[in-house]
Structure 1
Amino acid sequence: MSNQTPENPLWSHFDHEELIDQGNDFKLNALPPIFPTFLVPVLPDKPQNPILDNIRLSEKQRERTKDFTRNIPSLPPELHIVADDLLRLRLEAENQPKGVLWDKLDVHGSNSKGQLLSWDALRPDNRARSSTPFLSERDSLIYASARYYILPRLEDPSTRVVYVKQVDLFSSLKMTVLGNSSMYHSWDDETQKFCQIGVQEGERGFLLLDGKDEVVSNRQVLFPDLFLQFLMIRSVISRFLTVGNLLRRLDILLKDLRNRSVQGPTTHAFTHALSNILECLRKSLAKCPPSLAELSTGSVPISGIWLHYELYWETLVSLAAFCGREEEKVPRKYKSFNYSSIDLLSHIYSHLDIHLIRQSSRMIIAIFAYLLSCTSKEYLRQVSQSVGFGPQPPQRQERINNLSLDEYIIDEEGDGEEDIFDVLDRVEEKYPSFFPPELLAILPAAQKSLILLRKAQPDHALLSQPRRENGVEWLWQHEDIEAAFLNKAKNHQVRSTQTVENTSLEVPVQDYTPELEGFKVFDMEPGTSSLTIGSSATTVQEFIDSFPHSLPPITPTLAHLSSVTLSKLFKHSSTLASTLLHLFLDHPGGLNLRSHLILLRDFLLLTSSPFKLKLSNALFSDNEDYEIDNENRAMSLQIIRQRKPIMGGSKQPWAVGLASALLEREIWPPVGADLSFFLRTVIVDSLEDTQRGHNLPKQVVNDASWRLGFAIRDLPIGSGRDRWLNPLCTALDFLYMDYKPPHPLEVLIPHEVLSKYQRMFTFLLRLIRVEHALHALHRMARSVVTPIFPTLTQSRKLFLHFRFLAQSFISALSGYVFDTVIGGNFDPFLAELSSGHNEGEHREHRRFSDVFELAKRHSDLLDEILSACLMRSGQRAAGDLLRQTTEIALEFAVVIAELRRGRLQEYEAAPMMEDSFKRFRNKMAALIKVLRSIVDKNTSKTYADHFFIGQRNLPGGLEALHHLLLRIDTSDWWTITPVSNNDV
């Protein structure tokens, strides 16, 4: 073993050579690493001489001491004492046993004087020696002075430093944290921040605590305590300033919101709730440390205070971010707080959901929950009243999304009757984001259903029964959520923010008219308080204290909680919508929808055989002679005598298929009282047969006599005007039937749907006109005395062939329209609306959730019928081919009629007939080709798969065109027959 004494660990890091650089200047190095406190040197591989080694080490130490003493004048004179003491102690420790050195240092203060001195201790006014040798354990001023001398602060002319006492600083911060100016900080309106007093523009302010050299400002802080250095990166007072800045900015926002001239109830509720929250936060901040006792004694735990304000700092940062008033933003970059009721509620809900997902502190979540509860109270009340749910006001002052229900009252007898569609269109269909999808699907229909139900049956039980249910309120307590989830009615009062602040009136039970409802307060005994008002800050604090730490398992997310909260509203909305639907479907009187649809089908779609027959007799004729048929007309003899000479001298072409009475005045379109009288008679006579055939309510049939009627369209302007003035091609396009449904059934039979009925009515009149024209050809051809084309055999054969093809096509088209299109689609729809023997059974088979879905289904039904008849706007090419084909058949009938009348000769009529036949064949071939392309594009099934004899639910829309193809081209005759090169 070597006798070399290892360096003592206590002084192993004190190297005089490291303190002196080449320029003899004092050098600050980084703190050296911490080494083990013991050393076992490795023995060299040579003989050991402990005596010589010890002498050599002593000489080396003396040389180092001389060099250090010679170069020490660059240091302060006071440090010579410290260096001499350290050198003396180290030299003595070489021959001292372990532990003696620590005894000399007098760590426990047994000696009367400290062995470690500072330059400040040598002042004449500070002769007392400290009981501890450690500089860091001396007085704070002494330690700060030594550190300030060794680490001098750089002088910066743009920096203003203010030395403050700790008691004064925290007294000032207690004012600043509440949003008030203090002795060190004042409010700057331009930047909306607290700035240090006395700091000019372009300068930086620093506050330095007496006895500490760290900077206590909004820049950076250095603490002697390692725990504080690790915990606090930013300044101590920056947190206090942030809380004060944000609190003051939110106060300014509240002031702006209160000064707005127009403020809705939701914005007003938000302003009130935010004001309560800020008041509660101020009262809590006022109770925060340091207290007056701590300030008076000077014992202020800085780290504890700094951590205590962390929760309030996080809360105000969250509120400022919600309001767009972050501390880093300047006022000119503030986001405008112009939220509508729906947007504001959605904004609050989204922030609450974010904090729940982030698992923020319970205080932050509770504050946003309180804000959402208070702000949404009035809006939820309006929405509830819009569907007749919850307590209703005594007068009609309900509002649906800022729209008074008084506007929904339609005066049916007054001249200023308001269109019910305009009223329904004003119902807002935009809702906050927390409304669940199932409620969004039914709520607009329920709001509109309430309007219609009040109009259809004001005395309905759903409207007249007293509303004892509580309004919709947000549920936060676990027991309330579980009760709502399980749909159990609890007798306990739901703990919410609204019930604490609501006004409660203890009024004796006495009935008052709605106009005198407010006079109930005068029935109370003298001295009885009618108002129970709680402190706003107390209300918020109680809500925060009672707020649960987490959501219950049955509602793990805020979306689930919203569904449970609004479950009562969803249930009532569904009940309201289904009630109105069943009213229209099961009403025994004039509001029965099925009865009105039967009238529309029988009259506007011409499915009533009596009406179709009477209408055909009035408008059409299949006579083979051009004369007036007066057998079934109630006319005077004078009128009949006046008409014969007029008709005898007529030079107009014979509009075969039309009743000759329509052409008696040679004016087209025909006008006159006789036509109106005939058509009115047709409607009245047909209603009796309809009532007997369908067993319709008597009120519906009686009202149909004036709800149904014929009308004349205005003449078109442009190229279509010539066709309207020609009775040979337009048939009766000028004539249409109108129907006026009762209020409010017009929602299910609107003008748009009636226009579709009228288009079908016009199409059917054209088809019936061509049918009568072809029937007239059959009558003309059976005459033996005056045959058609008596001398032209080929023309006669072509006439018979053309007549057969045209008759087959029109008959197939007519059967397709009435049987497949109308009968196969409209009849199943009526059967779906009909009431069965079992009330529950027929309601189960109805697939409509509300009347508006039923109205859409009705409109879609007419669209399918029009599509099957090629009458939609997207089927114009195919529809034109179908119309042109029927017009060619009518043109063929007119040519033959003129030949029979003697207006044309055989040689003149033959080429005209041949030309019509060629065009008819080309049009038919093109029509078949177009139909096949449409069918192949919309389905992959074969034609036979869609055709079943006796099938009840026939396909509608484009799928029904399979049946038309099977009817007019069963054997592919039109496809196989060659087509001429003439243009189609």
Structure 2
Amino acid sequence: MWFTTPTDLEPLPKLNLGGDTEDLPQIRPAFFFTPLGDKPQDPILEAIRLAQSKPPARNPYYNAPPSTRDVGIPKELAILTADLGGLNEVGVEGEEGAKSAKSPVAFWSSVFEYQRQASSSILSWDRLRPTHSSRATTTAFLSEQDDRVFASARYSLHPESSQSAHEVSLDELHRSLRMTTIGASSRLFKWDPTQDRFAYVAEGTRNLRIKERDEVISASIIDRFLSIGMLLRRLEEFIKVLQLRTVKDGPTVHALAHALSTVLVYLRETMFKVSFSDDPNYMTAVWSKYAPYEDILTALSDLYGRGPSVLPEDYPAFDSSPVNIISLIYQQLSSQLERQSGTIIQAIFAYILEATSKGYLHEVCISVGFGGQPMKSPPRVDEDSEDYYALDDEGEPEEDVFQELARIQTTFPDFFPKPLLDLLPTAQKSLILLRRARPDHPLLGEESKHKRVRWLWTEHDVITAWDEVHGSTPFSSAPASSFQTPAVTRSNIGPTYPPEIAASFRIFDMDPGSFRTESALQVIDRSSSILEAFIEQFPAHFPPVTPTLEHLTSLVFRKLLDHTSTLSTTLLSIFLTSSDNLNFHLHLRLLRGYLLATEPAFKMRLLEALFSDRGEYVVDEGAHGMSIRSARRRRTKTGKPKESKQPWAVGISGSLLEREIWPPVGGDLSFFLRTVIMDSLETHGGRNVDHEQVSEVGDVDSRSVVSGSRDGERRRQHVVLEEAAWRVGFAIRDLPVGNGREGWMNPLSIEALDFLYIDYKPPRPMDVLISPHILEKYQRIFAFILRLFRVECAVKSLFRMMNDPSTSPFPTLAKHRKMVLHFGFIAQSFVATLSSYVFDTAIGGNFDPFLDQLSSSTASEHPDGSDSRPPPTTAGSTRFTDVFELASAHSVLLDRILTACLLRSGQKAVGDLLGQALELVLEFCVVVGELHRGRLAEYEAAGMVEDIYVKFRAKMATFAKVLKSLVDKGPSSTTIWALEGHAVGTRRPTGGTAALHHLLMRLDLGAWWTQGR
């Protein structure tokens, strides 16, 4: 800091440092303060004296005369200064000035005006320079002074801080910064690839100081420009990484690289237009103009983890998934909109989102047939596979539908509307099935190839899309004049030419020099101009109909949502109302009638072919015998049937036991079963026709309506029944390895017929509704039904043996004879109760309501009554939304039946108890049969029967207790029905666990088993 020396001080003597004996000179103070007088201070009088000695008109810091200022003087001061009317002039010349100066108001006005022009208390030589600002300042802080003052003060206090800094002029700095801001190295700054930032070129210096400025101020000014250049260069290096990605990463990565590259080109061109000046004050204006570019680049860099504070080794790995790329951009745009960022930032992120997601959205639309159809991928067929539909009608291999469905896209950006996210996977699967079921359907035509999903930003586009979707134009707050109209040019007002010559003659009406030809080989990049036009048209706020980005997104995807919903319902309608072999309702009837053995004709022929309820062991000689030659061979010379040395497998047809080999091999079993399905199908079709012919009663009008609807039903049934001859067939499983093999190999076991099952081949598009997993559930139920049929026939045989007076069991043991009679009664009651429960409650109680529900959905597809089934009487009937929901309901139906029959894996303990009880009944029948044949003595059979009876009583008691605990823990059928939302008045399904209540009521009414009677 500099100081001034009072003039009244004596000069300092000359220092003499020559000898040691001389005294050191006296050190006097280098500055002096005039002591205050020993009198009271009067600031008013001091101000008056100061005003008299220095008139305001001659003050260099104040040029306006005080008489021209309107200064308000408090009344109190005016009263106190009333005696100052005779003062001399106060810096005002002229007669008017002298007159006005005599007034108190004029005096205090001059005092106030002088206070306003008080200069800074910082005294320095810098104030004497001509370029120093004459603007008055009242602050005493150095940081609030001029840059040069602050730099001089800092340099005087710490001279070493600025000695190592490299000083540059404004002109040199401007030239370097213009290059640095566009990401290029310059004379002062170079790119450091190890740190991914710009560094100073001058060796040995870490700071850069602008001439006449402090290095701290210089760094504060330069940091913004260096940050812009660094972020732009980092993004450029990131784009290079994206461009090196392979084709496997998909087109979204390359679209992102193109969008970012376009943004950088636009920013470079825009920043390069900002001019620098040598004026130091203009540097602040340039610094402010570059603030939006820093915000833009900071947001773009933070989007991919390349912000200013991130080191290169900390860069996050780039996720090339299209879903993640687009979701990240959408989230950043939403964040910028919520923070009310600048319009240019919002527009740039909207442009990146639109350019990056265009290809991905087109692929999503194509995957559901919106705007085109997906290309068929080449099928992969196993050469060793012998699938029945491995070849299509043209003899070309066709891919399994489940393999094709497994490859559909299941992940989508989270900003998609929630209903669309739920429907897209279903719609993709529905399109695959629709192409197989109806290749010529209108939804698969070419008329929809121009439909696409695109983002809407301007108010005009939003209003137009809203009008297309909702059919009405919403109220818009913007006036009609807000929409841009095409400018009127010379070409617009020229003459009108015919269309065939308009292109050739239009150039003659152009202004001179406006027509320019371009080479066809010239490549012109208009991407930056497109972005610039996009930014100019981007609105400052969204229209009122879509006030937020979420509302805008819902409008953008509305047409795609409608298409996916239509696609799903169309496929569902085909399976519910089709008149050919795709009618799901008729296939369900076949599955229920044959795989669940509820068709009376099939059940009767199945019992005749596999089982026998005769009271004696003989080879059947009925029409189902193998051949006449075989029947003759089975007889002995005496004409009596040949007696077998093997135990009698009571309940199984004797023809299957002729060769005494189990299971039956060769063509024996197929011979017995070859006509079971065919005969039952013929009986089934004939019975339906006769029934319909007999039931056609009523007046003429009603008969014609009913006849027309039944004709359609009859045609559908005829098509399905014709194909059922080869779609339904018996098959044999491979012998198991390990546990379970012994039961299959022993005809006396209850698992003796588990090797046999019914296979069903649904039509190709319907194998989603009747999948192999669902067929496996049908086959598990069919295996249980075969066991039940076996035990039923064995019990019937037992009663036939006991009713024969010549061979009454235990003729000499009255106690055991009563035990046999009692055991036979409770065994028959148990088996009959279980059989009626399985077919009436477990199967019928669940399957019939499902068919009614399906009929209600079918009737809703034809409100005109074209379907034979009437529409539902209640408004709350459940409707299926798509085929896969129907397939899920079909699977749930079978799960309920399995649960009601105690066949689920979670019910293994109680299911084993039920199976063991049935096995004890069968074992009891086998013992009585051997006793009836005379192969067992009475005393031998008595102990065996008594032991089996005790085991059966204990097993049934345990089974009843466990079943009761399951019923107590599980919900009731009424609760299940209420939770599933079935309408009042519709048929209630008995459910799975809830149906066990019916079984308990039938088996243990009055707690007969649990109380040990």
Residue equivalent to 2:267: 281
- Please tell me whether the aligned partners of residues 135 and 143 of structure 1 are also in contact (alpha carbons under 8 angstroms): no
Residue equivalent to 2:216: 215
Take 1:702 and 1:725, find their aligned partners in 2: how far apart are those partners? 36
- Please tell me whether the aligned partners of residues 345 and 432 of structure 1 are also in contact (alpha carbons under 8 angstroms): yes
- Structure 1 residues 268-299: Cα deviation after superposition (integer angstroms, max 9, x where no partner): 11111111111111111112243xxx44xx46
Take 1:72 and 1:288, find their aligned partners in 2: how far apart are those partners? 61
Change (3 A) 1:842 1:442: farther
Matched, 1:271 2:257: yes
Aligned residue identity for 1:707? R
Q: 2:549 aligns with which of 558, 563, 581?
A: 558
Residue equivalent to 2:1000: 965
Matched, 1:257 2:242: yes
Matched, 1:876 2:897: no
Matched, 1:723 2:743: yes
Q: 2:426 aligns with which of 425, 431, 445?
A: 445
Matched, 1:148 2:129: no
Take 2:439 and 2:131, find their aligned partners in 1: how far apart are those partners? 100
Residue equivalent to 2:186: 182
Deviation at 1:364, TM superposition (A): 1.3
Specify the SS of the correspondent of 1:381.
Answer: helix
- Please tell me whether the aligned partners of residues 972 and 994 of structure 2 are also in contact (alpha carbons under 8 angstroms): no
Residue equivalent to 1:9: none
- Please tell me whether the aligned partners of residues 109 and 132 of structure 1 are also in contact (alpha carbons under 8 angstroms): no
Take 1:94 and 1:861, find their aligned partners in 2: how far apart are those partners? 105
Deviation at 1:626, TM superposition (A): 0.7
Take 2:655 and 2:133, find their aligned partners in 1: how far apart are those partners? 136
Q: 1:889 aligns with which of 921, 924, 936?
A: 921
Residue equivalent to 2:454: 473
TM-score for the superposition, normalised by structure 2: 0.76
- Structure 1 residues 779-815: Cα deviation after superposition (integer angstroms, max 9, x where no partner): 1111122222211111111111111100001101000
Number of corresponding residues: 836
Change (3 A) 1:71 1:316: farther
Map 1:606-621 → 2, pairs under 5 A = 606-621=597-612
- Structure 1 residues 383-416: Cα deviation after superposition (integer angstroms, max 9, x where no partner): 10111112x2xxx7x36xxxx6555998525474
Change (3 A) 1:566 1:802: same
Change (3 A) 1:715 1:577: same
- Please tell me whether the aligned partners of residues 626 and 672 of structure 2 are also in contact (alpha carbons under 8 angstroms): no
Take 1:371 and 1:672, find their aligned partners in 2: how far apart are those partners? 71
- Please tell me whether the aligned partners of residues 943 and 966 of structure 1 are also in contact (alpha carbons under 8 angstroms): no
Take 2:582 and 2:7, find their aligned partners in 1: how far apart are those partners? 118
Deviation at 1:448, TM superposition (A): 0.9
- Structure 1 residues 8-35: Cα deviation after superposition (integer angstroms, max 9, x where no partner): xxxxxxxxxxx9xxxxxx999xxxxxxx
Take 1:168 and 1:83, find their aligned partners in 2: how far apart are those partners? 47
- Please tell me whether the aligned partners of residues 317 and 326 of structure 1 are also in contact (alpha carbons under 8 angstroms): yes
- Please tell me whether the aligned partners of residues 106 and 133 of structure 1 are also in contact (alpha carbons under 8 angstroms): no
Deviation at 1:216, TM superposition (A): 4.0
Residue equivalent to 2:360: 379
Which ranges of structure 1 fall in alignment gaps of 5 or more residues? 1-18, 20-25, 29-61, 74-78, 219-234, 496-507, 510-525, 979-984
Matched, 1:851 2:905: no
Specify the SS of the correspondent of 2:681.
Answer: helix
Change (3 A) 1:552 1:837: closer
Take 2:771 and 2:52, find their aligned partners in 1: how far apart are those partners? 107
Q: 1:820 aligns with which of 841, 844, 857?
A: 841
- Please tell me whether the aligned partners of residues 902 and 908 of structure 2 are also in contact (alpha carbons under 8 angstroms): yes
- Structure 1 residues 602-655: Cα deviation after superposition (integer angstroms, max 9, x where no partner): 101000000000010000000111101112235433211212349724211100
- Please tell me whether the aligned partners of residues 749 and 855 of structure 1 are also in contact (alpha carbons under 8 angstroms): yes
- Structure 1 residues 707-734: Cα deviation after superposition (integer angstroms, max 9, x where no partner): 1111111111113211211111123111
- Please tell me whether the aligned partners of residues 176 and 187 of structure 2 are also in contact (alpha carbons under 8 angstroms): yes
Q: 2:54 aligns with which of 91, 95, 101?
A: 101
Take 1:581 and 1:856, find their aligned partners in 2: how far apart are those partners? 13
Which ranges of structure 2 fall in alignment gaps of 5 or more residues? 16-28, 38-42, 65-90, 92-118, 139-144, 382-389, 474-479, 484-498, 501-516, 689-713, 864-869, 979-984
Specify the SS of the correspondent of 2:634.
Answer: helix
Deviation at 1:205, TM superposition (A): 1.5
Residue equivalent to 2:510: none
- Please tell me whether the aligned partners of residues 917 and 952 of structure 2 are also in contact (alpha carbons under 8 angstroms): yes
Aligned residue identity for 1:241? L
Change (3 A) 1:567 1:142: closer
Take 1:101 and 1:713, find their aligned partners in 2: how far apart are those partners? 123
Residue equivalent to 1:585: 576
Change (3 A) 1:838 1:362: closer
Q: 1:160 aligns with which of 159, 164, 181?
A: 164
Higher mean alpha-carbon deviation, 345-354 vs 603-612, is at: 345-354
Take 2:861 and 2:301, find their aligned partners in 1: how far apart are those partners? 62
Deviation at 1:160, TM superposition (A): 3.2
Matched, 1:599 2:590: yes
Matched, 1:790 2:811: yes
Map 1:587-666 → 2, pairs under 5 A = 587-633=578-624, 635-645=626-636, 648-666=642-660
- Please tell me whether the aligned partners of residues 899 and 909 of structure 1 are also in contact (alpha carbons under 8 angstroms): yes
Take 2:814 and 2:432, find their aligned partners in 1: how far apart are those partners? 72
Residue equivalent to 2:503: none
Residue equivalent to 2:755: 734
Residue equivalent to 1:239: 224
CA RMSD of aligned residues (A): 4.1
Specify the SS of the correspondent of 1:640.
Answer: helix
Change (3 A) 1:132 1:322: closer
Take 1:528 and 1:903, find their aligned partners in 2: how far apart are those partners? 109
Change (3 A) 1:533 1:619: farther
Deviation at 1:529, TM superposition (A): 8.4
- Please tell me whether the aligned partners of residues 265 and 528 of structure 2 are also in contact (alpha carbons under 8 angstroms): yes
Take 1:885 and 1:753, find their aligned partners in 2: how far apart are those partners? 28
Aligned residue identity for 1:592? N
- Please tell me whether the aligned partners of residues 209 and 216 of structure 1 are also in contact (alpha carbons under 8 angstroms): no
- Please tell me whether the aligned partners of residues 770 and 889 of structure 1 are also in contact (alpha carbons under 8 angstroms): yes
Map 1:682-831 → 2, pairs under 5 A = 682-693=676-687, 695=714, 696-729=716-749, 730-831=751-852
- Please tell me whether the aligned partners of residues 262 and 528 of structure 2 are also in contact (alpha carbons under 8 angstroms): yes
Matched, 1:902 2:888: no
Specify the SS of the correspondent of 2:1001.
Answer: helix
Aligned residue identity for 1:206? L
Specify the SS of the correspondent of 2:648.
Answer: coil
Change (3 A) 1:117 1:803: closer
The percent of aligned pairs where both chains have the same amino acid is 45
- Structure 1 residues 451-502: Cα deviation after superposition (integer angstroms, max 9, x where no partner): 111111101122125116530011122343344345157999xx9xxxxxxx
Map 1:293-442 → 2, pairs under 5 A = 294-295=277-278, 298=279, 300-390=281-371, 392=372, 398=374, 405=377, 412-413=392-393, 414=395, 416-442=397-423
Take 1:130 and 1:763, find their aligned partners in 2: how far apart are those partners? 107
- Please tell me whether the aligned partners of residues 627 and 647 of structure 1 are also in contact (alpha carbons under 8 angstroms): yes
Residue equivalent to 1:536: 527
Residue equivalent to 1:39: none
Change (3 A) 1:383 1:121: closer
Deviation at 1:952, TM superposition (A): 4.0
Matched, 1:576 2:567: yes
Aligned residue identity for 2:190? S
Specify the SS of the correspondent of 1:973.
Answer: coil
